[in-house]
Structure 1
Amino acid sequence: MNYEKQIFIGERAQYYSTDSNYNSCEFYDGESPLKHSKNVKAENCTFSYKYPFWISENINVKDSTFNELGKSGLWYTKNFSIENTVIKAPKEFRRSDGIFLKNVRFENAAETMWMCRNIKLDNVYAKGDYFAMNSSEFYADNFEIDGNYLLDGGRNIEIHNSKIISKDAFWNCENVVVYDSKIIGEYLGWHSKNVKFVNCKIESDQGLCYIDGLTLENCTLINTPLAFEYSTGIDAQVNGKIESVKNPCGGKIKCERIGTLILNPKRCDVNATIIDCKEIEKTFSEDPNPNENCF
């Protein structure tokens, strides 16, 4: 069935729509207009109210807009692709499988893409906290995020050529690898397992702590004090200077300079980590008072 330049009003206006094409249509008012839909294409469409696609399968949306009230729109879906689209509503995507987004802009991405799997993002911008919490099989290229708590609880994550501004990014995660990206935000990667950064620029107060299995290849740490605290399995090759390193618990750290090195035998095995560094400006065997000008 083909629909063109139509306005749909009312709850479940196109309920159970199957094998349908929508061109230049507006879903204006009424909840769940395309609930339980299957094999649907929507192009140049506007979705202006809640829950437009729930429990839907094989959906393709292009050149469209999800307005502010189109929140919680894409839950329990399977095989959903969106291209060249602006999404202004929060809480989009929940418990969905098979998500492909290309040239998509999330203007309010709060609590979006929770507990989803098999996700691929290509040139996506998102602004909002808790993006992709507890999601897995997550792949992104040219991804830009401005929002805290990115991918909390995520599994099997791969990111390329991206810019991440996010406090507490990659917490409680497992199997994370980030290539050729810039990451800014406090407390990066805490309580995670198997985390790898390659050719990245990282700026993170107290970042890279409490990680089991941490790799840095050809990375730069800018304004990153108190790094590596209680992390194990460290293999860090850092360009230039690390502002300060605090109580790492095993592995190897290689860099040109360390501003302050703290190795407290009461907190860690001071012999468990190899420090390969040409110059260490200050060394402490006890945790300094945070009010002291040590760093």
Structure 2
Amino acid sequence: MTTKFNNKYFTGERILFGANSLELKDCVFGMGESPLKECRDLQLTDSVFTYKYPLWYSENVRVERTTFETMARSGIWYTNKITVANSALQAPKLFRRCQGVTLDHVHFGDAEETMWTCKDIRIADSQINGNYFGKDSENIYLDHVSIIGNYAFDGAKNIEAHHCTFVTKDNFWNCENVTVYDSVLDGEYLAWNSKNVTLVNCTIRSDQGLNYIDHLTMRNCKLIDSDLVFEYVSGLDAELAAPVVSIKNPVSGRVKVPEIGQLIMDEDKIIPERTVIECEKIGERIAASDLNQAAVR
């Protein structure tokens, strides 16, 4: 049997601890930690959380048009099968070690250290603001998501993104299996130390981006105002639709690009013949001897 609460104000620690089959509408949770800890089968609508740890160790949760205020921090940890839709999430550190997370039309006002070590995540039509979003998480699907904040998805695995915007330094570091379609990526040092990265129809602006990658594939992408790209990238297969400022020391593979402003191939660091450069115009070529002479001067 489902228990229903309408227009209720709750206070006190663990006020509904361990409850099952609840429908809460127009409710406010005031002072008191962990009000819905260890709960199952919850439906929350048009409600507000004002204090810490509202949903820990819970399961089968649906949240609609609900607000998590600033002090509802560390709010959703160790919770499985949760959907949050049309909601405002102001608190930091909201998701940790959760599995089966679906977010639709949500806004994160402060996503600092949010969505850490989670699995099976789907986010659509949402805005995320904050550093270190998605650290060490797995199986992530993004569609029309905007992320502003540095170090997103550090150490994450199995990421697929469509029609997204990433304004973030050190995005996709230490990742495995990242595929991004029809998106904008703006931020320095993109995707260092990652493996199996694929970018399709993307516009990218990154200072020293796309370095230290094992297997990088790019199709119909633009690298605008991006310098010193592809350093120590192995298994490179890039077809670029616009000129690139500079390329430095790719380890192996192929690059097809209409124009390169500066190509640095230092034979003291790499074997240049292992990378095929298909380019109509190269403004400047720099080899190891040129670099050594510049250092002496």
Which residue matches 2:138? 136
Q: Which residue of 2 aligns with 1:190?
A: 192
Which position in structure 1 is the counterpart of 2:176?
A: 174
Of 155, 158, 173, which residue of structure 2 is paired with 1:156?
A: 158
1:110 pairs with 103, 109, 112, which one? 112
- Say whether the 8 Å CA contact 2:224–2:242 is kept in structure 1: no
Name segments (4+ residues, structure 1) moved above 4 Å: none
Q: Distance in 2 between matches of 1:84 and 1:253?
A: 43
Rounded to whole Å, the distance in 1 between the matches of 2:8 and 2:119 is 33
Corresponding residue of 2:6: 4
In structure 2, the gaps of 5 or more residues are: none
Equivalent residue for 1:80? 82
- Tell me the distance in 2 between the aligned counterparts of 1:273 and 1:77: 47
Structure 2 distance, partners of 1:203, 1:23, is: 45
1:118 partner amino acid: D
> Residues 258-293 of structure 1: CA distance to partner in whole angstroms, max 9, x if unpaired?
00000000111110000000000000003759x99x
- How far apart in 1 are the matches of 2:291 and 2:96? 45
Cα distance in 1 for residues equivalent to 2:88 and 2:73: 13
Aligned ranges for residues 25-44 of structure 1 at < 5 Å? 25-44=27-46
Q: For structure 1, list consecutive stretches of 5 or more residues without a partner in the other structure.
A: none
Output the CA distance in 1 between the equivalents of 2:251 and 2:218: 16
CA deviation string 1:207-257 (max 9, x = no partner): 010000000000000111000000000000001201000000000000000
Give the match's secondary structure for 1:86.
strand
More helix by share: 2
Of 279-288 and 134-143, deviating more is 279-288
Q: Distance in 2 between matches of 1:269 and 1:128?
A: 41
Give the number of aligned pairs: 291
* d(CA) in 2 for partners of 1:254, 1:180: 19
In structure 2, distance between residues paired with 1:211 and 1:223: 20
2:221–2:242 contact (8 Å) kept in structure 1: no
SS at match of 2:132: coil
| 2:106–2:127 CA contact under 8 A, matched in 1 | yes
2:244 to 238, 242, 245: 242
CA RMSD of aligned residues (A): 1.2
Q: TM-score with structure 2 length normalisation? A: 0.97
**2:62 matches 1:60:** yes
Q: Which residue in 2 is equivalent to 1:225?
A: 227
Q: Distance in 1 between matches of 2:291 and 2:79?
A: 52
Q: For 2:96, what is the secondary structure of its paired residue?
A: coil
Q: Which one-letter code corresponds to 1:183 in the other structure?
A: L
